[in-house]
Amino acid sequence: MEWFDTWGLSLIVFLPLVGALLVVLLPREQEESHKWISLITTGIVLILSVVAAANFDFGAAKSFQYEVNESWISAIGANYHVGVDGISLPLLVLSGFVTLLSVIYSWNHWEEPRNPKAFLALMLVLLTGMNGTFVALDLVLFFIFFELVLLPMYFMIGIWGDKSERVLPVFGKTVSVRLYAAIKFFLFTLFGSAFMLLGFLALYLNSADTVAGRTFDIPALIARAPELTMLPVAGWIFAGLFLGFAVKVPMFPFHTWLPDAHTAAPTVGSVLLAAILLKLGSYGFIRIAIPILPEQAKQWAPVIAVLAVIGIIYGALACLAQTDMKRLIAFSSVGHMGFVMLGIATLTDVGINAAIIGMVAHGVITGLLFFLAGSMSHRYHTRDMDRLGGNQKLMPMLGGILAFTAMASLGLPGLAGFWGEFMALLGSYSPLDGLSLGLFRTAMVIGAVGTVLTAGYLLWMLQKVNLGEPKAEWDDQKFHDADKFELAAWVPLIVTIIAIGVYPKIVFGATTEAVEALVKTAFGG
C-alpha cells in the first residue's frame, strides 16, 4: 500500500474529474454509460476514502496522514499540499458517501430538462471540489476547491431547479425562482469568499519577513500562529475569514440565500448542498480561522455564540411559519448549523467535537430529509403542506422513513443528531477559560429551548404531511411507495444515523485526539 500513501488522496480528489471528463466525452444518447461511469467513479472514490479511513493511524490522528507536499506555484510559495487528519477524515468519507447515494438516487429521478450527461458531470466536478476542500492544506489550494464547488451547484440550481415564479416581498417584482436562487447563492458565497481571499493574502504577506519565506501552507501558518495572532491587522484578517465562512455555514444574518437555494434546487442538489456544502464553512473555521488566529477567535467567540443561538431560535421560528415542506427543511438547517457554530464558539475540545459530529449528523439526516421531500414532491407535484396529509396512508414505507428521519433531526437520543446538540450544550456550559461564563450558559439555556422548538416544527410537519386522512384531491390517484433506487439510497443513510447514534465513537474515534491537539496548540493548557 505504499503507493496509496502518496497517491491515495490525489486519486480521491481528481478521479471524479476524470469521470466527469469521460461522461462529457461520451455522446449524449448513451445515458446508461453515463450513469454507470458516474456510479463506478463515485463508488471507487468512496472505497478509496474508506480504505484511507481503514489504514488511518488513529493513534496519531492529530498529525496529517497520506500527506503530499509538492511545489506548485513556487513564485508565490503555493504548494500542492494535501493530507487528512482526524478532523477532515469523517467529512471526507461523508462527502464520498452522500455523493454515491445521490448518483444511485438519480438513476431514475431526473428533473426537467433531464440531460443526465450534464447533470452527472456537474455532480462529479462537485465531488472533486468538496473532497479537495477537505484535504487541502494550502490556502491557495483550499480557495480554489472552495470556489470550484460554486459552479456546479450554480448550474444545478439554475438549470434543473424549480420552474415556477415568485414575487419578491416589498419589491413586488416577479422573478424566476431558480434563477433568483442560483444567482443569490453564487453572489452571497462569492461576496464572502472575496473577503476570505483578502484574509488569505494578508496571512501570506505576514507569514514571513522575506519574500522567499512567505507561505500559504496551513500547518506552517499554524506553527506561526503566536506571531500572526499578535499582528495589528489580525482582527481584520479574522473578520475576513469569518465573513467567508459564515456565509457558507450559513450563520444568521447571512443565511437568506439558503432557503431560496434549497427550495429551488433539484433534489440531489439540495441533498449535496445540505449534506456537504454547508460543512465547508464550519470546516474552514476549525481548520483555518481558529488555529491560525486563536486570540481573535477568542475575541470573536461571544459574537459567534450569540449569532449561533439567534440562528437556532430564528431558524426554528421561521420553520414554524412555512407552508412549503422543502423550505421548512431548509430553514431547519439554519438551526442545526447554529448548534454546530455554538459548539465551535466554545473553543473547547468538547464543543469542537460536538461541531464535527453535528456536521456529520446533519449531513446524513438533513440529506435524507431532502431526499424524502424531493421524492414526495416528485409524486404529489406540490410541496404545499396544506395540500399534503395522510402520506403515511398513501405511502406507508416512505412515511415511516420520514417519521424516523424527523425524529433523528429533532435530536432524539440514540440517533446521530443527539450527540451534536447535547455536546454543544455541554461545551457551552464550560467554555474555554476567559470566555464569559454567563453569556455561554445563557446560550446553553436558549439552545436547549431551541431543541424544544425544533421538536415542535418537526412534529408539526409530520402531523401535516404524514398523519390525518389524505385530502380529497388525491383520491383517485395511484401512488407508488419507495422504489428500489430510493431505498438503495436511503437505507445506508438510516443505518448510518442509527450507528452513529448508538456508537458515536465511529466519529469521535477519529476526531477527539486531533481536536484535543488543535485546542491545545491554539489555547495552551
In the complex, the residues that contact other proteins under the rule CB under 8 A are: 53-59, 168-171, 184, 187-188, 253, 256, 314, 317-322, 349-350, 353, 390, 392-393, 407, 412-414, 418-419, 422-423, 425-426, 429-430, 444-445, 448-449, 451-453, 455-456, 459-460, 463, 466-469, 502-506, 508-509, 512, 516
Nearest approach, Cβ of residue 471 and other proteins (Å): 13
Query: Across-strand partners of 167?
Result: 174
Nearest approach, Cβ of residue 399 and other proteins (Å): 10
The packing angle between helices 257-264 and 325-346, to 10°, is 140
* CB-nearer residue toward other proteins: 159 or 446: 446
Nearest approach, Cβ of residue 82 and other proteins (Å): 18
Nearest approach, Cβ of residue 504 and other proteins (Å): 4
* CB-nearer residue toward other proteins: 86 or 132: 86
Q: How far does CA 372 lie from the centroid of its chain?
A: 18
d(CA 352, CA 17): 32
* CB-nearer residue toward other proteins: 32 or 469: 469
The cell numbers describing 517, all together, are 491537539
Contact 258, 336 (CB under 8 A): no
Q: What share of the chain is helix, strand, coil (3-state, %, to 5)?
A: 75, 5, 20
Q: CA dist 113 to 22, 110, 372, Å?
A: 21, 8, 21
Q: CA dist 519 to 62, 85, 222, 275, 434, Å?
A: 11, 14, 12, 26, 14
Burial class (CB in 10 A: 0-12, 13-18, 19+), 208: middle
Q: Pick from 427, 269, 464: which is nearest to 351 by CA? A: 427
Q: Pick from 299, 139, 132: which is nearest to 221 by CA? A: 139
* CB-nearer residue toward other proteins: 216 or 508: 508
Nearest approach, Cβ of residue 53 and other proteins (Å): 5
Residue with cell 398513501: 394
* CB-nearer residue toward other proteins: 229 or 346: 346
d(CA 203, CA 287): 14
Nearest approach, Cβ of residue 47 and other proteins (Å): 13
Q: Pick from 339, 347, 275: which is nearest to 307 by CA? A: 339
Burial class (CB in 10 A: 0-12, 13-18, 19+), 438: exposed
* CB-nearer residue toward other proteins: 294 or 351: 351
Nearest approach, Cβ of residue 512 and other proteins (Å): 5
The cell numbers describing 358, all together, are 453535528
Q: CA dist 86 to 25, 52, 286, 397, Å?
A: 37, 11, 12, 36
Q: Between β-strands 78-84 and 165-167, what pairing exists: parallel, antiparallel or unpaired?
A: unpaired
Q: Pick from 209, 263, 444: which is nearest to 345 by CA? A: 444
The helix/strand count (H/E) of the chain reads as 23, 4
* CB-nearer residue toward other proteins: 24 or 448: 448
Nearest approach, Cβ of residue 278 and other proteins (Å): 18
For 502, residues 6+ apart whose C-beta sits below 8 A from its C-beta are 414
* CB-nearer residue toward other proteins: 116 or 504: 504
Give the DSSP H or E segment for 67: strand 65-73
The cell numbers describing 280, all together, are 465547508
Residue 74 has what DSSP assignment? G
Nearest approach, Cβ of residue 408 and other proteins (Å): 11
* CB-nearer residue toward other proteins: 43 or 390: 390
* CB-nearer residue toward other proteins: 275 or 518: 518
d(CA 86, CA 44): 21
Nearest approach, Cβ of residue 458 and other proteins (Å): 10
* CB-nearer residue toward other proteins: 163 or 505: 505
Nearest approach, Cβ of residue 260 and other proteins (Å): 9
* CB-nearer residue toward other proteins: 143 or 404: 404
The cell numbers describing 357, all together, are 459530529
Nearest approach, Cβ of residue 307 and other proteins (Å): 12
* CB-nearer residue toward other proteins: 104 or 426: 426
Nearest approach, Cβ of residue 117 and other proteins (Å): 27
Nearest approach, Cβ of residue 19 and other proteins (Å): 26
* CB-nearer residue toward other proteins: 119 or 186: 186
